[in-house]
Amino acid sequence: MKAICFNFEIHQPMRLKRYRFFDIGNDHYYYDDFLNDEIVSRVAHNSYIPAAETILRMIEQTKGAFRCSISISGVALEQLEQYVPEFIDLLKKLADTGAVEFLAVPYAHSLASLTDPDEFAQQVKVECDKLHSLLGVKPKVLHNTELIYDDEIAPQALAMGFKGILTEGAKHILGWKSPNYVYDAASAPKVRLLLKNDKLSDDIAARFSDTSWDEYPLTADKYISWIASTPAEEQVVNICLNLETFGGFHTANTGIFQFLEALPRFAAEKGVEFRTPSQVLSVLKPVGELSVMHPISGADEARDVTAWLGNSLQNEAFNKLYSVAERVRLCDDRRLKQDWYYLQGSDHLYYMSTKHFADGAAHSMFSPYETPYQAFTNYMNVLADFIVRVEEQYPLSIENEELNSLLTTIRNQATEIETLNKELGSMRKNIEQFNVEHALREPEAKEAKAETDTKKKAAKKPAAKKPAAKKAK
């Protein structure tokens, strides 16, 4: 039976405040709290909350037949916990239905997978721990930032314990192949690839309220008919959408929520079901291997990573940021580590894009800056202050290898001191126990000694002589 696999993505970056050159070294707080609060609260109430409520109704009305997955960055979770805690309650309800699967993403929504495998693995682990503590779920499928994927990522995903990866069904990679199948990763055949159906995803994300589109208006009946009419052997259609599509990019008065809620009814009529990514991977077998030698993503027409690393500004900021990655991981400063995550957000580099035409319009729509150059200047000022703080803990004059050696020695010494302290503590406890037992036994010992002394004295005392018997006359 043909299935639809929905994935809804949620992410909000920590937007930076205007940070001047003269703030470097003087101001270590980088974020525009007012702007972040305003945007996150507005998007949550216009989009996230009504969309989540709609999905919850769909699950209840279909008795669990409607299923989907959600990918939410750790940075977004932090802000939603702070500004819109009622949405977190909705996520918990969705998780409790068992019909919603939560996928693993890099906590910071970063590009770490392109340059730093250790950082990438650590962020995914932190994200999984966060989801488990907050929602009680354990992700089994990986969704990298903006669907970024290449052959180097699959072995990392396998090492982290994931059985599948959700990524872009890029035309220049697929060629004549269809995205509506499960594929093996060429670099790690045990890892399965689920590919986004670009056209059917964009029919909702980009064209739903476009009155100039020749298929306008898009109805649930029409949309399900398109999916049902795909070749019978193509058994899964992966639809990846930003949750902000519903009520955000397409406002409620366009009928977007009614469209979403009507999908299960028409799907049932056409014999189309809904599955989570893990269900797809457990039911469908891969039809072949897929190799991706150069990184792909879900952004822009080229479906590559030039949205974030397409010009000299972006590459300079990217390289400067990750030049201190190893040192930040070595430190124990909680505030520094938090800033490290926030500054890795891919959005900061996205704002620096100088692309023109259709792509340029998309980039500028999301940016809080007037120009890419303003975004670059502001970010580099913040990064300069951040690196100064890192250098205060671990001077850049010390090479990484030398620093690692020194820190290893320090850790070994600390471990040895800790072991000795434990041994000392154990000895002290033994002495204290001995003293206590000795104190308890001392009266008994004195009494026993007194009794022994008495017996000895009695033994030494000469016996009384009997009177001699009188002789008979």
Q: What pLDDT, in 10s, does the model give residues 59-92?
A: 999 999 999 999 999 999 999 999 999 999 999 9
Is 146 one of the catalytic residues? yes
Q: Is the pLDDT of residue 389 over 90?
A: yes
Tokens representing residue 51 in the block: 């969309």
CB atoms within 10 A of CB 144: 29
Q: Is the pLDDT of residue 378 over 50?
A: yes
Task: State pLDDT tens for residues 274-307.
Answer: 999 999 999 999 999 999 999 999 999 999 999 9
Sequence letter at residue 240:
C
What pLDDT shows up at residue 394? Answer: 81
Task: State pLDDT tens for residues 432-448.
Answer: 777 776 666 666 666 76
As a whole number, mean pLDDT of residues 199-215 equals 97
Sequence letter at residue 273:
E
Task: State pLDDT tens for residues 321-372.
Answer: 999 999 999 888 999 999 999 999 999 999 999 985 344 456 667 899 999 9
Catalytic-labelled residue, pool 127, 146, 168, 244: 146
What pLDDT shows up at residue 112? Answer: 98
Q: Which residues contact 271 (CB under 8 A, 6 or more apart)?
A: 1, 2, 228
Task: State pLDDT tens for residues 127-186.
Answer: 999 999 999 999 999 999 999 999 999 999 999 999 999 999 999 999 999 999 999 999
Question: What 8-state DSSP symbol labels residue 110?
Answer: -
Q: At what angle do helices 312-322 and 372-393 cross, to 10 degrees?
A: 20
pTM of the full structure: 0.84
What Cα–Cα distance (Å) separates residue 207 from each residue in 4, 9, 297, 303? 19, 18, 20, 18
Residue 10, φ and ψ in degrees, nearest 5: -130, 125
What pLDDT shows up at residue 357? Answer: 38
